[in-house]
Amino acid sequence: MTELLGLTPDAARAAVVEWLAARGEPEYRLRQVLPRLWQRPVATWADATELPAALRTALADAFPLFRLTLATRQVSSDGTEKFLWTLADGEAIESVLIPEGKRRTLCISSQAGCALGCVFCATGRMGFRRNLSVAEIAGQVRELVLAAGTPKPTNVVFMGMGEPLLNWEAVDPTLTILNQPDGFGIGARHITVSTVGILPSLAKLARRPEQFRLALSLHAPTETLRRDLMPIEKKYKLPEVMEALKQFRRRVTLEYVLIGGKNDSLENADQLAALAQPIGALVNLLPLHPGGAPDLTPTGRARMIAFERRLKSRSVEAVLRRSRGLDISAACGQLRVEVLSRRKVGAQEHAGVE
């Protein structure tokens, strides 16, 4: 059996062509089969009713279609939707759908858990479980397309659980599936990879010809402060990471979570401006989601506005984002932690453990 949904569209096409030819099927069958993977996906081959029943049965035997299992879905009053998916081995991952006007941005995971241990992130606190496969990453988009009455996401961001560039072997072909016309056909400029700055894979992403967008999870403007918030600083130093951004022909976004009393002073804003201005970066200022790090304090609204204004006064384009999904478990990793904690408590109560 071959997992077509783990292949790029070109590789999937080659596998299906060879299989159809071996069966003696007419060439036009390819034009019926291939779109059912990503363009007009089906949950099972049995649903591809334009194909003969015998062919559908044979396809199911040769190319079973990978599915994610929806464990929990939460919907916020602001329209944000959080999905917790269960994988075949019992691991769980999250996706978040954020509607805004005509834009429907899907935030997807690339790993189960995360090894980086950023202090403001619930995923980092749970530790690393494993890398996701191509089918598991792309499947988060496919499941939403499959959902009845749900339009395809217009934008995809690798900002969910995990560090995408630590799973480059799977993220690389997934980018192709998301972008190619025979895949989901999402424009490269509508696909963003977020990274803390894994230098070897960053160089590989920069060499891709498509105009994929890059977002650097910065969150601190100095090496010392970044080391306190993000242990990865010990391996990939801030000056080296900022230098690596010059490989990209596209404009880079610097992601910056504002944490009360940690990285939100006007001096920090000046330091951040000194990094962003020379490379013409856009700065995304993000309020700390209280569900991601309950022991940290979100920056107050007035202080966030002052920080944004300070950056703009230094000729840096900055955007102060608003928190989404505050009434649901929308922080990265939060829903997985909560659900698994409830399961653990339930199991202990069932066993009589106190």
The catalytically annotated residue of 25, 94, 233, 308 is 94
Instruction: Look at residue 77 in the predicted model and tell me its pLDDT.
Output: 87
β-strand 128-131 against 111-113: which pairing, if any? antiparallel
User: What percent of the chain has pLDDT above 90?
Assistant: 81
Instruction: Look at residue 337 in the predicted model and tell me its pLDDT.
Output: 54
pLDDT band at 126 (very low <50, low <70, confident <90, very high): confident
Q: What are phi and psi of 233, to 5 degrees?
A: -60, -25
Residue boundaries of the structural domains of the chain? 4-62, 69-341
- pLDDT for residue 180 is more than 80: yes
Question: CB of 145 within 8 A of CB of 184?
Answer: yes
The catalytically annotated residue of 107, 114, 118, 332 is 332
Q: What one-letter code names the amino acid at 147?
A: A
- pLDDT for residue 346 is more than 50: no
- pLDDT for residue 314 is more than 90: yes
* Burial zone of 245 (CB within 10 Å; 0-12 exposed, 13-18 middle, 19+ buried): middle
Query: Angle CA(93)–CA(234)–CA(319) in degrees, nearest 5?
Result: 60
The count of other CB atoms within 10 Å of the CB of residue 322 is 9
Q: What residues does 242 pair with on adjacent strands?
A: none
Q: Does domain 69-341 have CATH number 3.10.105.10?
A: no
- pLDDT for residue 349 is more than 50: no
Rg (CA), the chain: 22
Q: Which of 21-30, 191-200, 284-293 has the lowest mean pLDDT?
A: 284-293
**4-62 sits in which CATH class?**
mainly alpha
Q: Which of 10-24, 264-278, 290-304, 328-342 has the lowest mean pLDDT?
A: 328-342
pLDDT band at 147 (very low <50, low <70, confident <90, very high): confident
Q: What is the mean pLDDT of residues 251-256?
A: 97
Task: Report the distance separating Cα 191 and Cα 171, nearest Å.
Answer: 12
Q: What one-letter code names the amino acid at 16?
A: V
> Which tokens hold the place of 344?
């653990």
Active site residue 240: no
Q: What is the mean pLDDT of residues 116-140?
A: 92
Active site residue 332: yes
